Amino acid sequence: MKAMIFDMDGTLFQTNLILEGALEKVFEELRKNGLWTGQTPIEQYREIMGVPLPVVWETLCPHHSIETHRQSNEFFHLQLIELIKGQKGALYPDAEDILEALSTKYTLYIASNGQKEYLQAITDTYKLNRFIKHTYSIQSIPSGHKSDLVKRIILENRIKNGVVVGDRLSDIQAAKDNGLLTIGVNFDFAHPSELKQADQVINSLKELLDLEM
């Protein structure tokens, strides 16, 4: 069967529903410890959504120590996981039905810049393993590059033909670097300039059902 590799955040999962609450908790903690003044940089985070996590904290807190970055990242993920398990997040509309239909035609995978525990919380909460063969975290790749993560999926599963579905340039580039088709999703965190580089752009996951590959 042909393969379809999905990004998670902003592609299958509506991260925007839990992002603000979790990030606010992190910066409340930083303010409490005298490490931050002013508002939480939520809009700045949305601009870089999808980049590897070390880049997130380097961007949002450029003057903080590596240890503060590590602690912030750990606390952030605990907050995200708590919100996911509390059903505060959601998949995009009809995602479960669409994945079920696609799984009869394609072998489905997830390739995400998210950490393992975070991805596990989403897959467990929404029982995505009914449809997804395996979920791959960027943590499993020393380089931290999504192109290398997709390459690992291809090699481990002997994929000859497939497509990567995602909302950011890293997803599109990962597909191109590995000779796969690219489908950009025009959802919450997508940038028009990045989507232009995809082979095809969709505005709803339902459009995947009409894909000819």
Which residue matches tokens 């239909």? 101
Beta strands 181-185 and 132-137 are unpaired
147 vs 42: CA distance, rounded Å: 27
pLDDT for 50: 64
46-72 pLDDT per residue, tens: 888 767 778 889 999 999 999 999 999
Section 94-108 average pLDDT: 97
The candidate with the shortest Cα–Cα distance to 13, out of 105, 124, 101, is: 124
Lowest pLDDT segment from 51-60, 70-79, 160-169: 51-60
First-to-last C-alpha distance (Å) of the chain? 11
Helix 146-157 to helix 169-177 angle, to the nearest 10 degrees?
Answer: 40
pTM equals: 0.90
